[in-house]
Amino acid sequence: MTLQGSLTHEEYCAQLLAETGKLREIVRSADLSATVPTCPDWTLADLVRHVGGAHRWVGTIVATRASENVDPADVPEGAGPEGEDAAALDAWLAAGVEQTVAALREAGPDTQVWSWTPAQHTGFWARRMTHETVIHRADAALTAGVPFEVPAPVAADCLEEWLQIGELPVVAARFAERGTTLCGPGRTIHVHATDAPTGVNAEWLLDLTGEAPIHRHTHEKAAVALRGPLTDVLAVLYRRLPADSDRVEVLGERAVLDQWLTWASFG
């Protein structure tokens, strides 16, 4: 498992800035005391502090060339401003992502640093922080009642990364603690984004028939198919949109998809 992405290091850096900019637009105008429906333990202000704290944590890992995990308590200004002052949170979020992107650009994609995966390099973190921000922008957009769209190459890579992460033994073991038996005969899921432009590979076959999940890009019949616009399919697989939404279509053995969504979730 290489956790290889489809964008360049600079594209991830630029997209991380762009995604954070879109999140900041929400922060500046939304009710920061509102509960986030997809993360009900958080208010929108809490969500912003989580994202900004993650940016600064990764920026510290990269800037210091850390060879082991960094305690978030040791990250300068990692906790963010208290309360729901939109201007303060906006400024803190902007400064943190700029520092992190500067560190990522200076390091390049191949500098060795700690990560919680076998990919012990800065390129992993540029990709991970981009998609972390994409998904939490979805949370913020849902909370604020504003549209959520992602450029097709970024959305496809975000979905691909999620499937890759689900195959990591450390993640699979964590998910398996839920007590759900995931794999078994005939358990396959076809994921098909219906609006992907030419050049963006947005079809996957998730194979759960062996001892562990594996996936590949293919158009192939499966026990169940999830079809719909790329951003909506991504939102379903990240449990930011219900699978019974009229924005997507589920064909076949719905229970197989539901089991995957229950198993492969951080929430």
Q: Are 56 and 98 in contact (CB under 8 A)?
A: no
Assess whether pLDDT exceeds 70 at residue 255: yes
131 with 169, same domain?
no
191 with 105, same domain?
no
Last residue of a domain, one of 148, 167, 188: 148
pTM: 0.95
Q: Are 75 and 56 in contact (CB under 8 A)?
A: yes
Give the tens place of pLDDT for each residue, 189-235.
Answer: 999 999 999 999 999 999 999 888 999 999 999 999 999 999 999 99
Last residue of a domain, one of 148, 181, 209: 148
Question: Residue 137 has which token pair?
Answer: 């922008």
CA–CA gap between residue 134 and residue 154 (Å, rounded): 9
Find the mean pLDDT for residues 128-154: 97
Find the mean pLDDT for residues 33-62: 97
Assess whether pLDDT exceeds 60 at residue 1: no
51 with 95, same domain?
yes
Q: Is residue 3 part of a domain?
A: no
CA–CA gap between residue 111 and residue 75 (Å, rounded): 20
Q: pLDDT > 70: what percent of the chain?
A: 97
Question: Residue 21 has which token pair?
Answer: 């900019």
171 with 240, same domain?
yes
CA atoms within 13 A of residue 68's CA, in its CB half-sphere:
1
14 with 133, same domain?
yes
Split at pLDDT 50, 70, 90, the class of 168 is: confident
CA–CA gap between residue 250 and residue 243 (Å, rounded): 7
Q: Is residue 2 part of a domain?
A: no
88 with 128, same domain?
yes
26 with 144, same domain?
yes
Last residue of a domain, one of 97, 124, 148: 148
| Sequence-separated (6 or more) residues with CB below 8 Å from residue 216 | 204, 205, 207
Domain boundaries, position 77: 9-148
Question: Residue 86 has which token pair?
Answer: 């939109």
24 with 124, same domain?
yes
CATH number of the domain to which 14 belongs: 1.20.120.450
Q: What does the pLDDT read at residue 2?
A: 67
23 with 101, same domain?
yes
